[in-house]
Amino acid sequence: MPQDRLFEEMTQAVIDGSPDRARALAEQALKAGIEPLEAIDRGFKPGMDVVGEAFAQGELFIPDLIMSGEAMKAAIGVLEPELLRRKQQRQVLGKVVIGTVQGDIHEIGKTLVGTMLAANGFDVYDLGVDVPAQKFLDKVREVDADVVGLSALLTTTVLNQETVIQALKEAGMRDRVKVIIGGVPAGPEWAEEIEADGYAENATEAVEVVKRLVG
Amino acid sequence: MRIPILDALAAGTILVADGATGTMLQAAGLPVGQPGEAWVLERPAEIVSLHRRYIEAGSQLILTSTFGGTRTRLEKAGLGDQAEEIARRAAGLAREAAGDEIYVGGDIGPTGEMMAPLGRLTYEAAVDAFAEQARGLAAGGVDCIYVETMSDLNEARAAVEGAQQASDLPLFVTFSFDTHGRTGMGVTPAHAAGTMAGMGVAGVGANCGHAPEEVLDFLPQMQEAAPGLYLIAKPNAGIPRLVKRQAVYDAGPERMADLARQYVELGASIVGACCGSSPEHIAAIRQAVAGGG
């Protein structure tokens, strides 16, 4: 198969959310002597871009984004060992710690943000849901994170986004990490009020905001 | 003495449901992060009191305080083993407030888990969890099972199947169409209503969601896909904004009452409100759709 055609199929496998096809195409690319990085950047990654954009526009929905993320992961799973063997690395754009704040068990939005960030070249450390402020601080310190992402879906728990920011300040860590917030009750005004560095409406926008913050 | 709820709806009665529960309980002191179900066990009088406030405001159908009462969600608060008992007691508390005249809907919300293949929860496990909750609700004396805020159609199907295993009570299922006119999982109002109709539920509708105005579009879509079903509209009181650290919802009682009147004109048989609403909203809605009677 000509290279361009192979890249197109990779893109399509991610758009279709097919981990099996993505994995097979990644293996095929390695056999054909295609650089793993090129397979990611010209093959799989453009698929995630298409899906992310369609998601933001309301043309695709949560299951689509999850399955495309799975396809992307399957491809990376094949290509990454080969990268390591060649002593190459995917360009890591930054390290992001994410989680849903204490008192809140809403998982999906935060997970989608993690999926999109990982697909776009960030190292993502997902702390899960109902995460106490201290746990965010510990992880930021441990991995030397560039950005921390705070999700909240309740009008009551959204206040805990501020709690984490206060804790970062009190620990003298506020200057070393950018803070991005998301979730239904949050908004640009709220971000400004609690002195977060950014707010994103959805997972696609979160990637843009985080890129800008680390850029 | 009330007649069976389906007889009342068949006779053309418009039923006013209740408003928000979780935020009202938090206003009464429920700590953030604790499920309302905890108060079913620890502070039952608060639950009864909230039901009474909605009944006094004009609710003719109140929902049990069991939105997060599936085993899967209660496990997060260490209450997983008590799912059926909590459901039974919550139904008893609602019945205590409702007496013989007011209808009680046994409330069932999402499991909080993603269903396979996207997540780990299998269809069978979901059916079991919903059946367990529904058994408790039925044993506690509810008039119907009321599934709400669904996003995943498979999960809604599991809830219906579980409820049908547990009892013969009438079933109502409402979805949260909060994402560009669909649920977050991408389900359209027509698809949701059509699928539910095929499973033998009595009514379908929209609850929670984004702007309450959008429900005006959803009702005809659902009616067309499921002409034989009763329609329900129980949206949020607008979209929340934080003002001085307090959530402010942009649709007040008058706006919600005006919308409720329009929902009824579009064929809705049950109207109420969801997040951000209070007994004041319900009083205005009752006034608007039932003349306050």
Name residues whose C-beta falls within 8 Å of residue A73's C-beta, 6 or more positions apart in sequence. A19, A118
> For chain B, what are the domain ranges?
5-290
CA A174 to chain centre: 22
pTM of the model as a whole: 0.93
Tokens of B54: 């909605």
Average pLDDT taken over every residue of chain A? 95
A-proximal residues of B, 208-227, CB under 8 Å:
none
Chain segment A172-192, per-residue pLDDT in tens = 999 999 999 999 888 999 999
Neighbours of B42 (CB within 10 A): 11
Mean pLDDT calculated for residue range B103-124: 95
Which of the four pLDDT bands, split at 50, 70 and 90, describes residue B27?
confident
Q: CA-nearest residue of chain B to A63?
A: B185
Is residue B87 within 8 A of residue B56, CB to CB? The reply is no
Share in percent of chain B as helix, strand, coil (round to 5): 45, 15, 35
DSSP A81: H
ipTM over 0.95: no
Residue A92 Cα distances to A84, A163, A211, B30, angstroms: 14, 29, 11, 43
Q: Which residue type does B97 have?
A: A
In chain B, the largest separation of any two C-alpha atoms, in whole Å, equals: 49
CATH superfamily for B5-290 is Homocysteine-binding-like domain (3.20.20.330)
Q: What band does B292 get if pLDDT is binned at 50, 70 and 90?
A: very low
pLDDT tops 60 at residue B73: yes
Backbone angles phi, psi at A99, to 5 degrees: 180, 165
pLDDT value at A55 more than 80: yes
Asked if the Cβ–Cβ distance from A58 to B32 is below 8 Å, we say: no
Closest CA to A68 of A128, A125, A11, A3: A11
Write out pLDDT tens, residues A136-158.
999 999 999 999 999 999 888 99
Residue B291, pLDDT above cutoff 80? no
| pLDDT over threshold 80, residue B238 | yes
Chain B interface includes A181 (CB < 8 A): no
Q: Out of A62, A66, A103, whose CB is closest to B33?
A: A103
Which domains does chain A show, CATH number per domain? Answer: 3-85 (1.10.1240.10), 94-214 (3.40.50.280)
Q: What is the pLDDT of residue B87?
A: 98
A77 and B CB contact within 8 Å: no
Tell me: pLDDT of B33 over 90.
no
In chain B, what percentage of residues exceed pLDDT 90? 91
Task: State whether residue B29 sits within 8 Å of chain A by CB.
Answer: no
B180 contacts in chain A (CB < 8 Å): 58
